[in-house]
Amino acid sequence: MERGIGSSGAFAWFFQRISGIFLLLALLAHFWVLHYSNDGEVTFQIVAQRLSHPLWKTIDLAFLFLAIFHGFNGFIMVIHDYVRWKNVRLVLVSLVWVAGILLGLLGMITIITFQVPGGGL
């Protein structure tokens, strides 16, 4: 039975809730911005211009990292709940970490480097 030293879960539990609240608010804001601002007009040009703005890039980066944390931390919780073999658990948790980091990097590159095709703001 591994107990005690260094194997907490307090931060994961706490931040899961913080990220959950952020995601709930961010999703509502996202829904409103996408479907109700600009009289509900959704075109590639409008979305692309928004995504080119540094403030929106910052918001989207926060959205990206918190969504990845929330989802992949959920995977890790399920693994800790149900996988009893220590080595299998280690492999699965490592895979979740690798997948989370790769997705985070991919999303980060996409958001940071995105520019409106054929012109700036």
Partner 1 sequence: MKKTYRIFRFDSAKPKQKHYDTFKVETAKGETVLDVLIEIKAHHDGSLVFRRSCRHGICGSCAMQINGLNMLACETQVEMLKDNTITVDPLPGFKPIRDLAVDMDPFYEKLHSILPFLINPDSPPTDKERLQSEEDHRKIELATSCILCGGCTSSCPSFWADKDYLGPAALLKAYRYVFDTRDVGLNERLPMLDNKHGLWRCHTIMNCNDACPKHIFPTEDISHLKRKVVEEKY
Q: Torsion-angle region of residue 117: left (phi > 0), alpha (psi -120 to 50) or beta?
A: beta
Q: Report the residue number, 30 or 80, with the smaller CB distance to partner 1.
A: 80
Distance in Å, CB of 11 to partner 1, minimum = 8
117: Cβ contacts below 8 Å, ≥ 6 apart: 48
Can you tell me which of 34, 54, 73, 81 binds partner 1, judged by CB under 8 A? 81
By CB under 8 A, is residue 84 in contact with partner 1?
A: yes
Among the residue ranges 10-18, 37-45, 58-66, 104-112, the one whose residues contact partner 1 (CB under 8 A): 10-18
Site string for partner 1, 13-52 (x = CB under 8 A): xx--------------------------------------
Q: Are 24 and 67 in contact (CB under 8 A)?
A: no
DSSP secondary structure of 9-22: -HHHHHHHHHHHHH
Distance from C-alpha of 86 to C-alpha of 75, rounded to nearest angstrom: 16
By CB under 8 A, is residue 80 in contact with partner 1?
A: yes
